[in-house]
Amino acid sequence: MHLSDYRAFATLAETLHFSRSARRLNMSPSALTRAVQRMEEDLGEVLLLRDKRNVRLSRAGEVFAEHARGQLEAHQQLLERLAEETRDPAGELRIACTVTACHSILPRLLSECRRDYPRIHLRLVTCDAVEAMTRLQRDDVHVAVVPQPDRLDATLAFAQLARTGLLVIAPVDDRRLARAGCADGTSLSEVPWILPEGGLERQRFDRFMATREVEHPDIYAEVSGNEAIIAMVSLGCGLGIVPELVLAGSPLRDAVVPVPIADGPAGFAVGLCTKRRDLRRRSLAALWQLADSPDHS
């Protein structure tokens, strides 16, 4: 039974007059009569008792009229709730991000979200970028803060928040490592490297080394997390590769130096990544609209 049927019967129950009800409903009396007959057939009950002069509700009609009014009221409440959600969305948003993202690129966005949508509850889960994407794919979180992939899966959406360069770093007190790759310095194939286990940074490193025709770099260690790379480089274990944003916020930034390599690894954009289907959530759509504004790109 459709909402229009409930509206028609509720109107007729109020007026007990077919012509008057039909005018209110913007339909003909004959169409209203057919609608009532169809409702009676569906319910298997006589809803109206009619004679030449009067129309009145049967007992089944009284029960159905109350039900129809309840359905109309519930529908109105639904519309009001949806409108309220549009104006003031609510709910929890789980965001997977690195500690660096928490300190550098997220504070402004999250502050604006709290200001404009106080009923959205933000929950941050800290991990590296690879783990953040894994959690997103498992639906453990709604959003991952990650580098923008070179090729974004069609099921995913990305909103850029910042750009960062990708730096090769050396210990501040190791001149040999600090001059690696320079015209008169040590070859990049002759120095040890501390590298990320995977992710976009590792892909960019592998591509960079391929352009230098270094097929088998000396890998001292593969670690999870940029801070671990900076720490090992500061101890003199070798060269590392880290995003400029990470180094700028690291407590060990003064213990390492960028290596001035011409045509070094390419930088990338960093931003929010989510499943396109989840953008139907009012709370996520609100956050996405803030992130997509020119101020955050």
pLDDT tens per residue, range 230-246: 999 999 999 999 999 99
**Which range marks the domain in which residue 242 is found?**
166-266
CATH no. for residue 37?
A: 1.10.10.10
Confidence band, pLDDT 50/70/90 cuts, at residue 247: very high
- Same domain for 160 and 189: no
**Average pLDDT of span 144-172:** 93
Share of the chain above pLDDT 70, in %: 95
Question: Is the pTM value of this prediction over 0.85?
Answer: no
Whether the pLDDT of residue 138 is over 60: the answer is yes
Confidence band, pLDDT 50/70/90 cuts, at residue 78: confident
Q: What is the 3-state secondary structure (H, E, C) of the chain?
A: CCHHHHHHHHHHHHHCCHHHHHHHHCCCHHHHHHHHHHHHHHHCCCCEEECCCCEEECHHHHHHHHHHHHHHHHHHHHHHHHHHHHHCCCEEEEEEECHHHHHHCCHHHHHHHHHHCCCEEEEEEECCHHHHHHHHHCCCCCEEEEECCCCCCCCEEEEEEEEECEEEEEECCCHHHHCCCCCCCCCHHHCEEEEECCHHHHHHHHHHHHHCCCCCCEEEEEECCHHHHHHHHHCCCCEEEEEHHHHHCCCCHHHEEECCCCCCCCCEEEEEEEEHHHHHCHHHHHHHHHHCCHHHC
- Same domain for 192 and 226: yes
- Same domain for 108 and 66: no
Final residue of a structural domain among 87, 122, 149: 87
- Same domain for 42 and 128: no
Domains: count for the chain: 3
Whether the pLDDT of residue 146 is over 70: the answer is yes
pLDDT at 185: 59
- Same domain for 261 and 251: yes
- Same domain for 144 and 181: no
- Same domain for 82 and 97: no
- Same domain for 172 and 126: no
Final residue of a structural domain among 53, 71, 87: 87
CATH no. for residue 287?
A: 3.40.190.10
Final residue of a structural domain among 87, 103, 135: 87
- Same domain for 288 and 277: yes
- Same domain for 260 and 174: yes
- Same domain for 182 and 222: yes
Give the residue, 144 or 265, on which the prediction is more confident: 144
- Same domain for 100 and 160: yes
